[in-house]
Amino acid sequence: MQLFVTGIGTEIGKTVTSAVLVQALGADYFKPVQAGDLDRTDSDKIREWTDCRHVHPEAFRLHTPMSPHAAADIDGVRIDLTDIQLPTTENDLIVEGAGGLFVPLNHEDCIIDLIAELNIPVVLVSRNYLGSINHTLLSINALQARNIPIFGLIFNGKPTPTTEEIIVKMTGVPVLGRVEEMTKVNQKTVAAAAAKMRESLKFVPRKN
């Protein structure tokens, strides 16, 4: 199984959620584009928080913490979708995007275009805040308009029943589980969340 983890925006909890999925599935991890924070990348966090055996190298490592298209311009490189290939592995694979669906990778393509190019299902991470219903529905609508399969939703943070219920009712997208708020993110807390997620995923058909 190969899954692309994206979010309804930035700082939604994609990396923590990716870590939980990696641990729950015993999966490999791949972050195609890392923009900034090269001293402690998202790949480094996955290594720190999980027992992932195969953290595959990024296709692009950019120095400036900003939108990938701008960070790439500063570094004098172009992010071309054809330069991003899924790593070869016999394990399940979690691929983590950057920001939300319409974060630009170059002056023509966004994250959603990369997902379409890689042709793998999406796990959408949603977190409650004022406006999150709108952002979640817009993200789902954009994926469906491109015929990109949505494997499911993961809610990150404290339960907000009224928000979550209307999202599920209006979209019909299955909920894979929840990643609870973590005071500290480490191997212990990620392993505990992964155990709960593993139970939820038992009831989800495993399709590539």
Q: What is the DSSP letter of 141?
A: H
* Coil, strand or helix at 155: strand
Does the structure show a pLDDT above 70 at 111? Answer: yes
List the structure tokens of 169: 């009712």
pTM above 0.85, yes or no: yes
Give residue-wise pLDDT tens across range 16-69.
999 999 999 999 999 999 999 999 999 999 999 999 989 999 999 999 999 999
d(CA 35, CA 98): 8
Q: Would the pLDDT of 203 be above 60? A: no
pLDDT band at 11 (very low <50, low <70, confident <90, very high): confident
How many C-beta atoms surround the C-beta of residue 90 within 10 A? 7
Q: Which of 29, 32, 25, 70 is nearest to 46 (CA)?
A: 29
pLDDT digits (tens, 9 = 90+) for 118-155: 999 999 999 999 999 999 999 999 999 999 999 999 99
The domain limits of the chain are: 2-201
d(Cα 82, Cα 80) in Å, to the nearest integer? 5
d(CA 129, CA 150): 22
Average pLDDT rounded to a whole number, residues 188-195: 94
Long-range contacts of 63-68 (CB under 8 A, 24+ apart): 63/36, 63/38, 64/35, 64/36, 65/35, 65/36, 65/37, 66/35, 66/36, 67/35, 67/99, 67/103, 67/104, 68/33, 68/35, 68/98, 68/103, 68/104, 68/105
Nearest CA-CA partner of 23 in 110, 92, 124, 76: 92
Fold of 2-201: Rossmann fold (3.40.50)
| Among the listed residues 17, 16, 12, the one whose alpha carbon sits nearest the alpha carbon of residue 177 | 17
Residues designated as active site? 31
